[in-house]
Chain A
Amino acid sequence: MKKNPSGALLSALPMPDRDHAQGPADAAIQLVEYGDYECSYCGEAYPVVKAIQEHLGERLCFAFRNFPLGNSHPHAQHTAEAAEGAAAQGRFWEMHDLLYENQGALEDEDLARYASALHLDARRLMSEVLAGTYTSRVREDFRSGARHGVNGTPSFFMNGVLYNGTTSVEEMLSALTGEAV
């Protein structure tokens, strides 16, 4: 994964060299989510995104960036950094999914448990989380979101444009495919 120069503004399109992205980099439809693992609306958006990915298959490239609202959500920062820690061990999406599927259990000990469940080096992951190894990367995601106009979570960018509709499979699919036609 290439390091992005600090402070440089990330594009509102998935950057597969830098982001956690699923689907072909050159897919016709490009979706970026800015999310917070403790945000209940993001939890509701999680199966919606899965359904959209299922439906669009290889036509979609989806990237997830962190937008933790740490003052409202005390677990937002550590969970974001735990997912980054899992990414460093090659299992970002597995951790991402576990976090959204277990929003009621996001204490540090839960994160360690999830790391073990994913057969990761849980000790390494937790020491990185506690040392703030990924704080600056998470911040970089956050800053890019704020500059692109993210005003809460989840926020979606469809082919680089902030989506203002509701988080439903039907409405998002129609917006996504409309853009791509």
Chain B
Amino acid sequence: MSATTTTNSAKSQVQANASGALPVGMLAPDFALKSTPDQTVRLSEFRGQPVVLFFYPADWSPVCGDQVSLYNEMLAEFQELGAEVVGISVDGPWCHAAFSRDRRLHFPLLADFEPKGEVAKLYGVYRPSDGTSERALFVINREGIIHWSYVSPVGVNPGAAGILAALEELKEGEKAK
């Protein structure tokens, strides 16, 4: 992905390739997780539009804060490209609710809380050593297929350039049909 080279060094690309993240071209496994203590979001509900699914290690940690804040500001751009944004971490729904309120987030954070990290494991981005997920991005197309993915070093905010490039590619693809 040429668009990611401005953000991510060659070294981190190698790390990404070495990770067990589900590869491009696979059907994104469906799941249902709580977005609030009494609401559940199912991935397949988004079928028909692209979805940006991003796993991050934990609410409140500084890099996550920057990353979620950035995506929050980028929502208009993502939505212009027809996409919905969903964040996932192993934090519980009450923690997500507090974090989301604090950062004034306008997209859902899903709680991969019980059984812990189950969805992260399904996507090959669980870090058993830390008990959290990788910082992993997946762009899923309207048919539910993984179109692009990237695993960032845990301490590095991967930014939005790669996601935007992937969404634009999807939009171009739709136009060409």
Contacts of A142 in B (CB 8 A): 73
B104 interfacial contact with A, CB 8 Å: yes
For residue A7, which residue of chain B has the nearest CB? B80
Task: Please report B residues at the A interface, Cβ cutoff 8 Å.
Answer: 6-7, 9, 66-67, 69-70, 72-74, 77, 103-106, 157-161, 164-165
Whether B103 pairs with A146 at a CB distance below 8 angstroms is no
Interface of A is mostly: loop
Q: Which of B67, B69, B161 contacts A146 (CB 8 A)?
A: B161
Whether B160 pairs with A151 at a CB distance below 8 angstroms is yes
Contacts of A12 in B (CB 8 A): 6
Contacts of B157 in A (CB 8 A): 151-152
Cα distance, A72 to B73, chains bound together (Å): 9
Whether B67 pairs with A151 at a CB distance below 8 angstroms is yes
Residue among A71, A148, A162 having the largest count of chain B Cβ atoms under 10 Å: A71
- Tell me, rounded to whole Å, the shortest Cβ–Cβ distance linking B148 to chain A: 15
Whether B73 pairs with A147 at a CB distance below 8 angstroms is no
Task: Please report A residues at the B interface, Cβ cutoff 8 Å.
Answer: 12, 68-72, 142-143, 146-152, 161-162, 164
Contacts of B105 in A (CB 8 A): 71
Whether A71 pairs with B7 at a CB distance below 8 angstroms is no
For residue A139, which residue of chain B has the nearest CB? B76
Whether B6 pairs with A162 at a CB distance below 8 angstroms is yes
Contacts of B164 in A (CB 8 A): 146-147
Cα distance, A164 to B70, chains bound together (Å): 17
- Tell me, rounded to whole Å, the shortest Cβ–Cβ distance linking B21 to chain A: 20
Given contacts A69-B70, A71-B69, A71-B72, contact A143 B77 (CB under 8 A): yes
Whether B158 pairs with A71 at a CB distance below 8 angstroms is no
Whether A149 pairs with B7 at a CB distance below 8 angstroms is yes
Given contacts A146-B159, A146-B160, A162-B6, contact A151 B103 (CB under 8 A): no
Cα distance, A146 to B106, chains bound together (Å): 18
- Tell me, rounded to whole Å, the shortest Cβ–Cβ distance linking A158 to chain B: 12
Cα distance, A12 to B7, chains bound together (Å): 13
Contacts of B77 in A (CB 8 A): 143, 146
Listed from nearest, the 5 A-B pairs whose CB atoms lie closest are A149-B7, A151-B159, A151-B157, A152-B66, A149-B161
Whether A147 pairs with B66 at a CB distance below 8 angstroms is no
A-B CB contact pairs (8 Å), 28 listed? A68-B73, A69-B69, A69-B73, A70-B73, A71-B69, A71-B72, A71-B73, A71-B105, A71-B106, A72-B69, A72-B103, A146-B70, A146-B74, A146-B160, A146-B164, A147-B161, A148-B6, A148-B161, A149-B6, A149-B7, A149-B161, A151-B7, A151-B67, A151-B70, A152-B69, A162-B6, A162-B7, A164-B9
